[in-house]
Structure 1
Amino acid sequence: MNVLVADNPARRRFEILVDGGLAGFAAYLVRDGLLVFTHTEIDPAFQGKGVGAQLAAAALDQVRERGEKIVLECPFMAAYVQRHTEYQDLVVER
Structure 2
Amino acid sequence: MSRVQHNFAASRFDIYSDGIVAASVHYRMNGAEMSFIYTEINDSLQTPPLVQSLIRGCLDNAHRHRLAVLPFCPTMCAYIKHHTQYTALVPLAQRERFYLPTTPRPPRQAHLTVVRPQ
After TM superposition, is the score higher than 0.5? Answer: yes
Once the two structures are superposed, residues 30-51 of structure 1 have per-residue CA deviations (whole angstroms, 9 ceiling, x without a partner) of 1232100000011112345411
- Residue segments in structure 2 that go unaligned for 5+ positions in a row: 98-118
Please show how residues 1-94 of structure 1 align to structure 2 within 5 Å.
2-47=1-46, 49-92=48-91, 93=94
Residues 39 and 74 in structure 1, CA contact (< 8 A), matched pair in contact too: yes
- Residue segments in structure 1 that go unaligned for 5+ positions in a row: none
Q: TM-score, normalised by structure 1?
A: 0.90
Tell me, what secondary structure is at the counterpart of 1:81?
helix
User: How many residues are aligned here?
Assistant: 93
Q: How many percent of aligned residue pairs carry the same amino acid?
A: 31
User: CA RMSD for the aligned pairs?
Assistant: 1.4
Residues of 2 paired with 1:91 and 1:71: CA distance? 6
Give the structure with the higher percent strand: 1
Q: TM-score, normalised by structure 2?
A: 0.73
User: Which ranges of 4 or more aligned residues in structure 1 deviate by more than 6 Å?
Assistant: none
**Bigger relative contact order (CA 8 A; separation at least 6):** 1
